[in-house]
């Protein structure tokens, strides 16, 4: 899957990557790109050296 980085939004949230005391919440209407934005953030965190086991990714729309 090809993911386009949404630099405008990523620039706004990058400053919070290292803030471990604050819970970050991304909201928006359905199908506006929240999950894609989170995939971009996850990719950037991995590039910074964050291990997979330190990234929590819960898909609430897909039930077992």
Which residues have C-beta within 8 Å of that of residue 2, sequence separation ≥ 6?
Answer: none
- What's the structural domain count of the chain? 1
Report if residue 26 sits inside a domain: yes
Residue 59: inside a domain: no
The answer to whether residue 12 sits within a structural domain is yes
pLDDT at site 63 = 65
Q: Which pLDDT value is given to residue 59?
A: 79
- pLDDT tens, per residue, the chain with 64 residues: 677 778 999 999 999 988 989 888 899 998 888 989 999 999 999 999 999 999 988 877 766 6
Q: Is residue 62 part of a domain?
A: no
Handedness of CA 17, 55, 22, 60 (dihedral sign): positive
Task: Note whether residue 44 is domain-resident.
Answer: yes
- 1 lies in some domain: no
SS3 content of the chain, % helix, strand, coil (to 5): 40, 0, 60
Which pTM was predicted? 0.80
Quote the domain boundaries for residue 11. 7-53
């Amino acid at each position: 899957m090809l993911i386009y980085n949404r630099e405008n939004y990523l620039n706004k949230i990058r400053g919070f990557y290292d803030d471990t005391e604050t819970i970050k919440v991304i909201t928006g209407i359905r199908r506006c790109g929240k999950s894609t934005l989170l995939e971009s953030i996850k990719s950037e965190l991995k590039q910074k050296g964050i291990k997979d086991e330190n990234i929590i990714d819960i898909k609430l729309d897909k039930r077992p």
